[in-house]
Structure 1
C-alpha cells in the first residue's frame, strides 16, 4: 500500500473503494464513566508549602486542576481548599502532575505521577452505602497531600476516605523569581518558617520529617474485640494514615462488621466509635477518641517486631454494667496495656 492510500485511510469518508474500514477500539468503562470529582490539596501538619502548578490528567488527555497559589499549613489528609470545576464530571484520572515549593526545606519539588486508574475507577464505581440517608453514595474529591522530602500522598475522599497511594517527587530546578517576583527569598523563608511548629522545624533541621508520615502508612493485621457480648450495628473509625470508614460498602453489614472484628491489614486507629447492642437488649457506644497516637503506634510496632505473623487484637475490657473500660493491645504471646487512651461508654437508649 502506497503512502497516499495510507493517508486516505486515516481521513473519514475518503477511503478508496474496496478498502476495509479501520475499527476504532471501544474505550473501556474506566475511561468513560464520569463522576463529580474535584481536587483538594493539603500538606503534612506544620510543613508549609505552596503548590504552584497542579493538574489531574484524564484518559482523554484533558485535565482538571489542583488548587494552586495557597499557603498550605497542614491538615494531613484533610483540606479546606477546593476549586469548583463547574458541572462537568470527570473520569478516574491517569496521572497527577505537580510543582510545589517547600518552605521548610527551601526547595522546589515536581512530579508526574502515574496513578492506579483502574483502582480509582473501581472505588468510584463501587462507592458505599450512606447509612444516614439510606442510599448509594460515592467519593467526590481527590485529596492531595505533600510530605517532607518531596513525597505526595493521595486519597479518595467523601464520607469514607481511602488511600490511593504514596508517590515520590524530585527537586525541581526553578527560578524563585518566576513565582515570587522581587521578594527577598531569605526574608520570606524566615517569616514563614517562624510560623511553623517547633517540632516541624526540628525535624526539618534533622532531616527526619518524612519518616513520621511514612510510618503512618504502615498496616498491621489487627482486629477489635470487646469483652462483653454485643452486636455491632454501626461504627466510625479514623486511622493515622488519614483513611476513615463510616459507611459500609453496601446494605449488607456483614463484611462491614468483619472489617473490624476479623484480623486484616489496617493502619493504626486514631479515633474509634463503636455502636452495639448488648445481650440484654440495651444499646451502647464505646468511644476511643482520641487514641493516644505515640503509645498506640509504639505498641503496634513492638508486637509486630516480636511476632510479625501473629494477628493483633485491640481488646476493650468493658465492665458488666457498661460503666467502665480499659484498653489492651495483645497478640498470642504478649499484651501491652494502653493506659493513655480513655475508654468512654455511653448508653445509647
Structure 2
C-alpha cells in the first residue's frame, strides 16, 4: 500500500469516525439540549480560536482550540463541547477560510476522538492524529520537526494555564467577574499569538538570510534559482514556479521550477499583460479565482490561483516570480509577504 493510499484511507476514517463518535456522544448524553447558552459561547470561542491559527510551516499550524476542549469538558460537559468544537471547526475551516468541506470534516475527526481524554492524553492524541499524514508522506524535514515540537509544547503549556484560569473563574467567582477575566484572557491570547508569529517569522528570516549568503557567493544563476525554489517550497505550495527576467527590454523565462505538477504546458498568453503590469507598477498581483477573473481568459483548469510578485534590485524591477496552484484562494496576505 502506498503512502498516498494510506493517507486517503486515514482521512476518510477520521471524517467518518469523528462524525460517528460525535453522534454517539450526543445520543448517549442528552444534557447538551438544555445548555443553549453554554453551547453558543463554546461555539463562538471555537470559531475564533480555530480561525486565529499560527502557521508553523507550509503544512502545519498551531491553534488554541484545546482551551475550548479542556475547559468546556470540565465546566459544561463533553457532549456540548464536542458539538461546539465540531461546529467551530466546520465554521472556521469551511465557511471562513474556504477550505473544502471534506477537509474540514477530517479536521473535526481529529478533535472529537481526543475529547474522550484529558490534559496530556488530549494533547498527544489530537496532535498525533494531525501530524500522522505528514509523517507518513515524509513532508516534514528534521529542522521543521524540531520547530513544530518546540512551539506545540509552548502552545499546549499556554492552553493548560488558560484552562486552569477558566475553570477556576467559573467555579469560584461570580458571573460578573467572568466578563473581566474573559477580556483579560483575550488580550493576553492576542499578545501570545503575535509573539509566536514574530518568533516564527524571525526563524524563517534567519533561514532566508543564510540562503542569501549562499546565493550571493560564487555560484551559477541556475543554481541560485534552484536554491531559492527549495527554500520557497518549504514555506508555500504551488503547481508551477516561474522566474521571469527582463532582458533587452522584454521579459523572458529565466527559470522554471523542478517541483510542480506533472504536466505543465506553456503559461497562458494572458499572463503576459499581468506580468507587464507587475513590472510597471512594482506591485504584487494575486488572483484568487482564475476561472472568474477577466484578466486571464484561457487558463487551464489546473490553474485556479495565481500570484505574481516583482523581483527588485534596489528601486528597479528586474523581473517577476510567479506561482500557480490548482486550488482557489490558496495565497493569502501572509503568503504574499513570505514570497516577497
TM range (shorter): under 0.3
TM-score, scaled relative to structure 1: 0.24
Give the helix-richer structure, 1 or 2: 2
Give the strand-richer structure, 1 or 2: 1
The structure with the largest alpha-carbon Rg is 1
